[in-house]
């Protein structure tokens, strides 16, 4: 992708740009940026997110950052079903598996990423070409006090399993708003973690995700 928008100076400017996306099609937006949809669209799972980074002027690439560092705002695309509800869970960040003893909720990646999010919803529909998919009304969101209390509890519960060497007991059914699922190229990928006896083991990389039922409350 070639064209890249300059970074928005203020939250208001970012919001203006985001609202300009409303009702636009994916194909139209790509054309404006001088790029084409990839031929194997299904395999390029992050393509829309990366397009929006460019369109809205987010910081480059895969650095560990909020997408808009000076604004403290994270950018997330959100696929919607035809009924307007989210189709998928939302990836937030990797689960730290080593050296987590001093980590707290407010010092965690999850806390910082969820502090403020610009959601760009779009209608996901495999019955038509992705070229014709429409963006919807953007949402600038921060968790309520009540929501953050639950998120914090989920994070603490899940992280305690990580710290206690109980990785084998972690699965996606745990957590009310937050869940942990694999996050890797495939199931053969290994990283270091804490095992049952407290020693270092090789294990699968994991990620924190927001449940679809939680993001549904955001878009409704």
208 Cβ contact list (under 8 Å, min separation 6): 91, 92, 93, 94, 95, 109, 110, 155, 158, 178, 179, 180
Please select the residue that binds DNA; options are 6, 12, 40, 197, rule is CB under 7 A. Answer: 40
Give me the 177-206 binding string for DNA, x by CB under 7 A, dash otherwise.
--x-xxxxxxxxxxxx-----------xx-
Residue 67 or residue 154: which is nearer to DNA going by CB? 67
Per-residue tokens: 101? 């003893």
CB of 156 to DNA, least distance (A): 19
CB of 87 to DNA, least distance (A): 7
Per CB under 7 A, contacts with DNA among 137-156 are: none
d(CA 134, CA 137): 10
Residue 28 or residue 87: which is nearer to DNA going by CB? 87
CB of 13 to DNA, least distance (A): 19
* 206-210 and 178-182 strand pairing: antiparallel
- Using CB under 7 A as the binding rule, whether residue 50 contacts DNA is answered as yes
Give me the 59-98 binding string for DNA, x by CB under 7 A, dash otherwise.
-xxxxxx-x------xxxx-x-x------xxxx-xx----
What does the binding site for DNA look like in residue numbers (CB under 7 A)? 40, 42-46, 48-50, 52-53, 60-65, 67, 74-77, 79, 81, 88-91, 93-94, 109, 124, 126, 171-173, 179, 181-192, 204-205, 207, 209, 211-213
């Amino acid at each position: 992708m070639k064209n890249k928008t300059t970074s928005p100076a203020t939250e208001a400017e970012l919001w203006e740009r985001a609202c300009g996306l409303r009702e636009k099609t994916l194909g139209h937006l790509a054309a404006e940026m001088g790029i084409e949809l990839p031929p194997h669209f299904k395999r390029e799972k992050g393509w829309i997110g990366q397009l929006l980074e460019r369109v809205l002027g987010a910081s480059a690439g895969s650095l560990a950052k909020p997408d808009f560092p000076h604004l403290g705002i994270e950018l997330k695309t959100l696929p919607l079903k035809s009924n307007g509800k989210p189709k998928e869970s939302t990836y937030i960040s990797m689960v730290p598996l080593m050296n987590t003893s001093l980590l707290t909720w407010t010092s965690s990646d999850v806390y910082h990423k969820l502090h403020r999010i610009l959601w760009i919803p779009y209608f996901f529909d495999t019955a038509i070409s992705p070229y014709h998919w429409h963006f919807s009304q953007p949402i600038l969101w921060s968790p309520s006090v009540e929501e953050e209390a639950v998120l914090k509890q989920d994070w603490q519960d899940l992280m305690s399993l990580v710290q206690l060497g109980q990785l084998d007991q972690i699965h996606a059914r745990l957590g009310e708003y937050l869940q942990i699922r694999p996050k890797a190229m495939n199931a053969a990928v290994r990283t270091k973690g804490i095992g049952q006896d407290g020693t270092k083991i090789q294990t699968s990389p994991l990620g924190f995700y927001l449940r679809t039922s939680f993001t549904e409350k955001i878009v409704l």
